[in-house]
Chains A and B, each alone.
Chain A
């Protein structure tokens, strides 16, 4: 079948370019690295679009329902007659959608980086890492086996680590990469345990079989996992919650979100690719992938919904106070992922009630475009101003009209203003929440307003609000202007998609049960969120549209809350308290002491005694024949004396 051949190429091409650039990139093709990476990604994007067309319009639909297709499967490790780790390629609506998103955004970022990273010495390495990331992310979305997904999940984590720490001579980047890696590793531990619980009970690691066995409430596997319990909670819930914990770590859900803002130390295009559009939604993808199983267990879905809603709210509040533009975007990402999570959490499996699932995927789709656009726009701004801090910016709209226009479109989209794409997906999410859970709906509305406010705060601070710095105006690095064609082109492409992505009839293609879903946009229902969005924009315009002291006054009047939000609600400090004070002192130090004094001490003592003995007795082996003769004689003499002594006794 021709299709599976393309499918093979999709993950393998980035792998090939990773190997090529990783091995030879820096030495032989540093300048061509961008072109090589981009060409390989362009091919992958075209193949992905071909696969998507084929899946959605030809091969995917069987009897009107989109079926998961296993294009290829190879048993890699056989643990027992039932459990094996397979390497497979799975096609279903969400994996095909992710395939398109990942390859497309990655392509945009590759093109953008050619301009943004032009002056970088290690361009070959940079593109090698980007290719590695793309390979692992494509592998992740195509996984047909939960363990295969886990392997790629870790690979994604590694490449994220490498790219965050790309500027390894900057201590903050090194610290950020370590933080990201450790926090997500910690979450992945939960994920691994969750996998083991589910796989142990369902006796399979294959997604299809796993879902089939655990969702059929009559099957013996489902009964076994439902009846086994630990601390009053069934094994199924434990497994799902632990899997969700892994997803929450990657997707930066509260309380595992602390790494995401710091991850902004990486190059900006990387933030756009990894920490906005693709890797951070892996958690959402994971929950969606196992959604049929989640949907039979109400409790774990509730947890997903509340964690999502809480993260959305807290991130939106923090985003209102940050001044580093990339951090604002990072918190906004976290907030939007919270949206996707709670949309999944309030969803049911089939029919009208399955709206949340579709809405979540829809939001994932639109968010990927407008958020990567925002990040790339921010990258262009940073490229121009050479600073991340919005205090150093202002009035840039005259200097960078293209970036300004694209950024405005993305801001309108994320604020949920019609007819931009964010509006449609956000409406679906709020509708789903409204029908299932009023509390979550309320949080969603509040966050919608906050989102509009902080995004436009950012927008006005960057492009309007001429703030006079001490040097008398904004320092703009005119020589390279707004950036080369390679930087503008992706912005424009993404902006066009951001405008039109909302019009994709998403519900016909991607639903939890594979059946098309009728959605209807209710004007009356949309009014509230849109008005809230406009209100948020208006307040932002009032406060930040031109230079004034109103923001400071408001900040002063809300001093406690403002400071708490500015300090990110002290979550980092709480973590530090736990890790530094309690874990280090309570567990780390004693363990280190035992290791140093007892484990190592024993070994050192043995070695020391041996060395000391050796020092004493090495004098015996002097290499002088006469000494040996002396010992020999002494031995003989000793023996003689003994013989005489004993014989004398025996005789007498």
Chain B
């Protein structure tokens, strides 16, 4: 079976990363922003796994890193959602533009 070339996998991960960036910059809804961040993390995960598989097939370092990232991402999502919930309680909104108390 013909293997998929590395470049194509990298292409997917880059695309994913930039979709994440795009979402991060344009969305005002904090949940969506959080999702965009998750997308970016996952694109990095894909890179790790792909490089590990194609360049150093005998090692597991890349895969361990991926697991770490997933773990941290989960923790981060928990914290972020807690913040968002608190924000919602205070503002009745989860729009990033509404949280302006500390501005200026």
Contact = CB atoms under 8 A, between A and B. Distances in A.
Interface of A: 623-626, 629-630, 633
A633 B21 contact: yes
A629 B103 contact: no
A629 B104 contact: no
Contact of A624 (B21, B24, B96): B96
A623 B100 contact: yes
Contacts of B33: 626
A626 B103 contact: no
Nearest to B104: A623
A626 B100 contact: no
A630 B96 contact: no
A625 B96 contact: yes
Interface of A is mostly: helix
B54 interface: no
Nearest to A626: B25
Contacts of A626: 24-25, 28, 33, 96
A92 to B, nearest CB: 74
B97 interface: yes
Interface in B22-68: 24-25, 28, 33
Contacts of A623: 100, 103-104
Contacts, number: 16
B24 A629 contact: yes
A626 B25 CA distance: 5
A629 B21 CA distance: 9
14 contacts: A623-B100, A623-B103, A623-B104, A624-B96, A624-B97, A625-B96, A626-B25, A626-B28, A626-B33, A626-B96, A629-B24, A629-B25, A630-B25, A633-B25
Nearest to A627: B25
Q: Which 6 A-B pairs have the closest CB atoms?
A: A623-B103, A630-B25, A626-B25, A629-B24, A623-B104, A633-B21
Contacts of B24: 626, 629
Interface in B51-104: 96-97, 100, 103-104
A94 B81 CA distance: 98
A630 B104 CA distance: 20
A623 B103 CA distance: 6
Contacts of A629: 24-25
A629 B104 CA distance: 18
Task: Count chain B CB atoms within 10 A of each CB in A624, A626, A630 and give the residue with the most.
Answer: A626
A60 B46 CA distance: 114
B20 to A, nearest CB: 11
B35 to A, nearest CB: 14
Nearest to A623: B103
B63 to A, nearest CB: 26
B79 to A, nearest CB: 16
Nearest to B25: A630
Contacts of B96: 624-626
A631 to B, nearest CB: 10
A624 B100 CA distance: 9
A273 B99 CA distance: 76
Contacts of B103: 623
Nearest to B96: A626
A623 B28 CA distance: 14
Contacts of B97: 624
Given A624-B97, A629-B25, 10 more contacts: A623-B100, A623-B104, A624-B96, A626-B24, A626-B33, A626-B96, A629-B24, A630-B25, A633-B21, A633-B25
A574 B24 CA distance: 81
A626 B37 CA distance: 12
A623 B33 CA distance: 17
Contacts of B100: 623
A355 B83 CA distance: 105
Contacts of B104: 623
A630 B24 CA distance: 9
Contacts of B21: 633
A626 B28 CA distance: 9
A623 B104 CA distance: 7
Nearest to B27: A626
A415 to B, nearest CB: 84
Contacts of A630: 25
A507 B23 CA distance: 109
A629 B37 CA distance: 12
Contacts of B28: 626
A630 B21 CA distance: 9
A624 B24 CA distance: 12
A499 B21 CA distance: 109
B38 to A, nearest CB: 16
A382 to B, nearest CB: 67
A412 to B, nearest CB: 85
